[in-house]
Amino acid sequence: MLTRAGYQKVLRLGFPFEVLNRDLKLIFASNLTGSFGDGLFAYLLPYYLKENLKASAVEVGILYAVISLVAALTLLVAGMLADRYDRKKIMIAGWIAWLPAPLIFSLARNWLQMFPGMVLWGVWLGGPTGTAYIVTSADKNRLTLTFTAISAAWSFGYIFSPALGGYLAGTVGMQVVFYLSSIFYASACFTLLFISSQQATGYAKHSKENDYSFSKLIRTKKLLSMSIFFAAIMFTLMMFRPSVPQFLADAYYYGNFEIGFLGSVSFFGSAVLGILLGRMGDKWRKSYAIAASMTLCSVSLIFLLLFGGLPILTIAFFLAGGSYLTWSLLGAIIGPLAPERIRARWVSIPQTVSMFSSFVAPYIGGVLYNISPYYPFVLAITATISIALSATKLLG
């Protein structure tokens, strides 16, 4: 029988949100609401593009490449704005940019008409802004767990929404799903109105120093090596991820509901594994958490290629959830290295490099998939194993 102290310890292991202050809890709530809306359609979107809008695998890859390109371009802008202005307002603006995207998707009748929505969906003002806000506000001794706990909000939001989105798509149609998503985006935006304002301290005094220009920062050896490392991770992940729903349909003949269910499982895995990897990063090394994340990804892809039964695939997609933590782990590793007055700009550099590297990844994945549906996944298995082996050496 558990003692009171033992019971409290179990609660702390399962619910690490004690590390979040009021503002971070509101960000958690915003991410949870927004991710639920996002999950209603995001996991099904590649399948919807091919089955409903008759897009080829290459055309799907082009659309996802557009998202990566727009994200890469807006991350640098977000970094500059977040160091100069109120970070709260920049995060709210990021959600406002997303609001029309699902509505545009609902009106599209071919894959070309998806472009405006994809452009807006790619606007990622919250990337460096949110990272800088969290690092400034959080307990520095528990930073990895803080990032993975907030990241878990996205995962919790996705646990039920892909399955629900798949069910609704099969019963009332994807247009209704898109409308619901936009409503949840608006709710996420509204929640952020209640967080505290935050501005970078010392920006006005140091903003004109050449030592903190983008061209100078990108030549910083440590920052450059980390940027390249995370770029390799993002390229690998974005190369195969858009093909997963289609592979399930082509190889194992699954439909909307089964694909949505497996998507939900992967995000449940992300929530659970994120907490475990966060604790690992704080207790030992953050590089161990990255290595574990990539190892779980490779194992999940091996299962995906070898087994078509739903029970085994459920395990595989749970393990795949470990690979959804790259962005939060990047923030936990790189964020504390930056001076507060330029933290958002500093973080935006590896995020931007990562996004540029993944710009052509969906297209390459689509080309490989056209040759053989197995090729993108085999290449990703090799890459993730290599990244896991090199993580400790490169990150320390």
Is residue 50 predicted with pLDDT exceeding 80? yes
pLDDT range class, residue 14, cuts 50, 70, 90: very low
- Choose between 243 and 144: higher pLDDT: 243
pLDDT of residue 233: 87
Superfamily classification of domain 19-192+211-395: MFS general substrate transporter like domains (1.20.1250.20)
Which residue type sits at 143?
Answer: L
Q: What is the pLDDT of residues 180-238, one digit of tens each?
A: 999 999 999 999 999 998 887 755 555 554 455 566 666 666 777 778 888 888 899 88
Identify the H or E element spanning 138: none
Q: What is the pLDDT of residues 84-117, one digit of tens each?
A: 888 899 999 989 999 999 999 999 999 999 999 9
Look up the pTM and report it: 0.72
Provide the token pair at 32. Answer: 């949870």
Distances 309 to 210, 298, 314, 315, 374 between C-alpha atoms, Å: 58, 19, 9, 10, 17
Q: Is 44 helix (H, G, I), strand (E, B) or coil?
A: coil
Looking at residue 114, what DSSP letter applies? G
Can you give the residue ranges of every domain in the chain? 19-192+211-395
Distance of CA 46 to the CA centre of its chain: 17
Is residue 10 predicted with pLDDT exceeding 80? no
Burial of 215 (0-12, 13-18, 19+ CB in 10 A): exposed
